[in-house]
Every structure is written in structure tokens, then in C-alpha cells.
């Protein structure tokens, strides 16, 4: 009888494999933290840091790259029960009767996210982006980015003000890409 994809026997040794785990909504970080404390369980929860608009301006948030999913490497026969009953974990994802995620897929993901977090650039700082002032004395006005300045904290924008186009420098934290320009 052939071995299942969950457990491979080599003599008496059992190998661990990667599995994709479904987590409770917005609980990826909790599930991965708890699983990381378990012996013989390796966890990978890639995250992305991106800028979003809030009521008080724009802020950088760090969220799961795959919302609702994390990866864990463990021996299925030995650790399935404790992994499945860990806080934040809903189930092991299965596709076509297979649960194991190929090691090469995880290796590629880990290589592309070496620190576990990808930092997405702020789209408001790209030359040509249509932006809106979300804070400061110009809040509510629209402009077009001409250039990001070397400091990285300021941008040069073209502002249509009282029927005239004027170039000004603005704090990068005061502007956010316009909703119409995001598509």
C-alpha cells in the first residue's frame, strides 16, 4: 500500500511537510505566533506592509500577504491534532485530496520575502500620480505628483489653486493617491 502524502516513512523516521492552514479572519498573526511555540512545528506567515487611507490621514499597515492563510511544516501523524486545535486555526487546506504544499513553493516564497515582510512602495509618491491632500492645511485639494524629493519625506506637486497651476513641495504623509487614479 503506498504512503499518503501526509506521512512518508523512511525506516522509523517520519518527515515533516508544509501545509496551508486556513485561519480565522484577521487572526493569521495569532495563529502563527502560537504555532511557532510548538516543538517540531515551523511556521511561515508572509506579510505585506502597505499604505492605506484612514480618517486621520494615511498610515502604513502590516497585514497578511494571504489573508486567512498561513503555512506550517510539521509531521502530520504526530502534530495534526495539536495544530488543528491551536487558537486561530480553522482547518488544513486540501486541494484535490492533497494537503501537502511542495517544499519548492515555500522555498520560493521565503526567498522572495526574506524578512517575512514585503514593503510595498507608497503609490502616492510616483511621478504622475493624481493625489489628494488628506491632512494639513491643503486637506481636500487635488494635485499631481511631479517628483519625489531625495529626502523621501517630501514630494513636489502641481496644484490647481484658484485657477492657476502652482508647484509646491508637500510632506509625503499629507497626500494619498486619488481614488480615481488607483485603477
Instruction: Find out if CATH 3.30.70.940 is the number for domain 9-119.
Output: yes
d(CA 150, CA 39) in angstroms, rounded, equals: 47
pLDDT for 109? 92
Torsion sign, CA atoms 33, 34, 39, 44 = negative
Run of H or E including 27: none
pLDDT for 90? 95
pLDDT for 181? 57
Instruction: Give the residue, 183 or 95, on which the prediction is more confident.
Output: 95
Domain ranges of the chain: 9-119, 123-182
pTM for this model (two decimals): 0.70
123-182 sits in which CATH class? Answer: mainly beta
d(CA 120, CA 18) in angstroms, rounded, equals: 27
172: exposed, middle or buried (Cβ count in 10 Å: 0-12, 13-18, 19+): buried
- Of the pLDDT bands very low, low, confident and very high (cuts 50, 70, 90), residue 105 is very high
25: exposed, middle or buried (Cβ count in 10 Å: 0-12, 13-18, 19+): exposed
Torsion sign, CA atoms 109, 111, 112, 114 = positive
Contacts with 179 (C-beta within 8 Å, 6 or more apart), sequence order: none
pLDDT for 60? 86
Give me the mean pLDDT over the 4-14 stretch: 49
Amino acid at each position: 500500500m503506498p504512503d499518503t502524502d501526509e506521512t512518508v516513512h523512511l525506516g522509523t523516521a517520519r518527515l515533516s511537510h508544509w501545509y496551508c492552514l486556513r485561519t480565522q479572519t484577521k487572526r493569521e498573526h495569532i495563529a502563527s505566533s502560537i504555532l511557532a511555540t510548538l516543538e517540531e512545528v515551523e511556521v511561515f506567515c508572509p506579510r505585506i506592509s502597505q499604505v492605506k487611507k484612514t480618517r486621520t490621514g494615511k498610515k502604513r499597515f502590516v497585514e497578511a500577504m494571504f489573508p486567512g492563510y498561513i503555512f506550517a511544516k510539521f509531521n502530520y501523524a504526530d502534530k495534526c491534532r495539536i495544530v488543528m486545535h491551536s487558537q486561530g486555526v480553522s482547518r488544513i487546506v486540501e486541494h484535490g485530496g492533497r494537503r501537502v504544499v511542495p517544499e519548492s513553493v515555500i522555498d520560493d516564497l521565503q526567498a522572495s520575502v526574506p524578512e517575512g515582510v514585503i514593503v510595498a512602495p507608497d503609490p502616492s509618491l510616483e511621478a504622475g500620480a493624481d493625489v489628494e491632500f488628506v491632512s494639513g492645511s491643503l486637506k481636500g485639494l487635488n494635485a499631481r505628483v511631479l517628483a519625489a524629493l531625495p529626502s523621501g519625506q517630501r514630494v513636489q506637486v502641481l496644484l490647481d489653486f484658484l485657477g492657476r497651476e502652482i508647484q509646491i513641495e508637500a510632506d509625503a504623509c499629507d497626500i494619498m493617491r486619488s481614488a480615481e487614479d488607483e485603477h
